[in-house]
């Protein structure tokens, strides 16, 4: 009975282990491999703040890509960011007939390679959808296409996540 309780407790806590450094300001660059237990998708699921993003990634058929080798840098909008879109926008984007538009939007949030916060510079950055996004850095605050980066350097086995407060849209 005691062994079952310990096993259950460890199983219940395991999803949160991948997110141990969430929002932490410490520079984990030397500990990337130790911190990066889960891939981008599993890390987003474990966080609990990215349910809409994960649903969109699933609807777009991008789960396997974001679970792939990478590395990727994802500027991840929270559920709150998706909720700020005009009413019905998310539901419309999740429809099968809008899959290409959804893929374009989601891949606009992804930069190839692993870009840590200490390496971010102002300027144009290429996104996976083929367009560039504008990054602004001012007084220690980072914005991408007008969305504020609110948490940085959430390390994953195949990249890094930076949390943003808005959904960014390609042209």
Q: What structural domains does the chain harbor?
A: 31-164 (2.30.180.10)
- Given this model, what pLDDT does residue 36 score? 59
Pairwise CA distance, residues 137 & 85, whole Å: 24
Nearest to 160 by CA among 111, 127, 123, 122: 111
The residues, ordered by sequence, that sit 6+ positions from 104 with a Cβ below 8 Å of its Cβ are 129, 170
Q: What is the pLDDT of residues 104-147, one digit of tens each?
A: 999 999 999 999 999 999 999 999 999 999 999 998 899 999 99
Residues 116, 153: contact at Cβ < 8 Å? yes
């Amino acid at each position: 009975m005691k062994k079952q309780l310990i096993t259950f407790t460890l199983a219940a806590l395991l999803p949160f282990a991948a997110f141990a450094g969430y929002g932490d300001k410490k520079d984990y660059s030397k500990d990337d491999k130790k911190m990066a237990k889960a891939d981008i998708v599993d890390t987003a699921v474990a966080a609990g703040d990215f349910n809409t993003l994960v649903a969109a990634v699933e609807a777009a058929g991008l789960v396997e890509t974001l679970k792939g080798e990478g590395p990727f840098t994802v500027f991840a909008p929270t559920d709150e960011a998706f909720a700020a879109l005009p009413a019905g926008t998310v539901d419309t984007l999740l429809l099968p007939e809008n899959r290409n538009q959804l893929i374009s939007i989601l891949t606009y949030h992804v930069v190839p390679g692993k870009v840590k916060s200490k390496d971010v510079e102002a300027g144009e950055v290429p996104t996976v959808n083929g367009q560039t996004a504008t990054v602004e850095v001012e007084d220690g605050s980072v914005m991408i296409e007008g969305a504020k980066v609110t948490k940085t350097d959430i390390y994953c086995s195949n990249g890094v996540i930076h949390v943003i407060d808005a959904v960014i849209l390609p042209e």
